[in-house]
């Protein structure tokens, strides 16, 4: 069976009177895929279909044409289940699911009796992306899931009717956030597109990618993945982006600019310590990325230099 070629397949169609110029929000429907018995697979398939139908009913089917707000859905269960034997590598699955998650405006988890490792990672991507999460399970979610300081609604639903009701309520409650999602994603990509392009060019042209990756305690392949899109750069910890940009010599507009007194102290510390430009930039990026106080003092900058390089210097 061949894999669909469209990386972001369309979801339920809206009414023909819908404004086609209005961006349509996207949902990611996550579920366990690995290690399911035939009985559990059949039960999970029924639950996923219930969720999909509830999404369609809530946003389109049960609404008057003028009140419809269609969404698209990406459901790995329908496209990349391991029982298809489609030959996709684990790396391909990871990359594909990450791309779909970063293009999603909401996550619905259809959990089994126990959550899978893949679902845990998808929840973390959603939390770091700032999108709402609905977690549906036949048993109570773990304390760690319930304790996430995020817009995550964990619900117990033992039957299809209850699950459908929770989906409908979540969609109606989160409608404004979901519909604003495409605009938020566009703003995110716009904010990071220049930096992503600069990092990509510098990374591809560097003569020592392995050494740079080792300096950051990363695999070279991790950097390839990290800078593949603006959304991925935005998802990466800012300290890692600062360090990578410094190693590659990419100018970086950090989260806040230095004041005049802070800049003067930084320059003075660099001059007194005879730091080369790369070292000075790395110290600056590190200090600003962690929100360090007392940056108006040259001694503070010297202390950060010591933290990064120790007594050995550069």
Separation of alpha carbons 289 and 129, rounded Å: 19
Pairing assessment for the beta strands 72-74 and 133-137 based on DSSP bridges: unpaired
Contacts of 244 (CB under 8 A, 6+ apart): 199, 203, 212, 216, 223, 226, 227, 250
The model's pTM: 0.75
Closest C-alpha to 102, from 87, 77, 121, 85: 121
Grouping H, G, I as helix, E, B as strand and the rest as coil, residue 312 is helix
Contacts of 182 (CB under 8 A, 6+ apart): 23, 24, 25, 26, 105
Length of the chain: 314
Separation of alpha carbons 3 and 117, rounded Å: 23
Closest C-alpha to 98, from 110, 80, 114, 78: 80
Identify the pLDDT of residue 1.
37
Burial 118-145 (b: 16+ CB within 10 A, else e): bbeebbebbbebebbbbbbbeeebeeeb
Identify the pLDDT of residue 291.
65
- Which parts of the chain sit beneath pLDDT 50? 1-19, 254-255, 314
pLDDT tens profile 151-161: 899 999 989 99
Burial of 14 (0-12, 13-18, 19+ CB in 10 A): buried
Domains defined for the chain, CATH in brackets: 26-179 (3.40.50.450), 185-312 (no CATH)
Q: Do 284 and 267 form a contact (C-beta atoms < 8 A)?
A: no
Burial 235-244 (b: 16+ CB within 10 A, else e): bbebebbbbb
């Amino acid at each position: 069976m061949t894999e669909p070629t469209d990386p972001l397949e369309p979801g339920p169609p809206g009414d023909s009177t819908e404004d086609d110029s209005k961006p349509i929000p996207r949902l990611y429907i996550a579920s366990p895929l690995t290690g399911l018995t035939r009985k559990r697979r059949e039960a999970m398939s029924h639950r996923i279909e219930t969720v999909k139908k509830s999404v369609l009913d809530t946003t389109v089917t049960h609404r008057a044409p003028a009140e419809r707000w269609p969404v698209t859905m990406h459901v790995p269960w329908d496209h990349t289940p391991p029982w298809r034997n489609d030959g996709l590598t684990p790396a391909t699955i990871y990359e594909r699911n990450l791309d779909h998650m970063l293009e999603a405006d909401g996550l619905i988890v259809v959990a089994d009796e126990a959550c899978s490792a893949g679902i845990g990672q998808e929840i973390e991507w959603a939390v770091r992306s700032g999108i709402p999460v609905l977690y549906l399970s036949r048993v109570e979610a773990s304390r760690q899931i319930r304790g996430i300081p995020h817009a995550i609604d964990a619900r117990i639903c033992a039957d299809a009717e209850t699950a459908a009701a929770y989906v409908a309520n979540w969609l109606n409650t989160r409608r404004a956030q979901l519909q604003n999602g495409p605009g938020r994603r566009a703003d995110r990509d716009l904010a990071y597109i220049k930096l992503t392009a600069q990092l990509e060019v510098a990374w591809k042209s560097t003569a020592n990618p392995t050494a740079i990756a080792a300096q950051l305690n990363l695999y070279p392949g991790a950097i390839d993945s990290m800078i593949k899109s603006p959304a991925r750069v935005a998802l990466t910890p800012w300290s890692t982006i600062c360090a990578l940009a410094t190693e590659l010599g990419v100018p970086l507009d950090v989260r806040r600019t230095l004041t005049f007194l802070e800049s003067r102290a930084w320059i003075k510390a660099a001059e007194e310590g005879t730091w080369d430009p790369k070292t000075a930039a790395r110290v600056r990026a590190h200090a600003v990325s962690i929100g360090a106080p007392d940056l108006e003092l040259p001694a503070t900058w010297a202390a950060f230099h010591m933290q990064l390089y120790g007594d050995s210097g550069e």
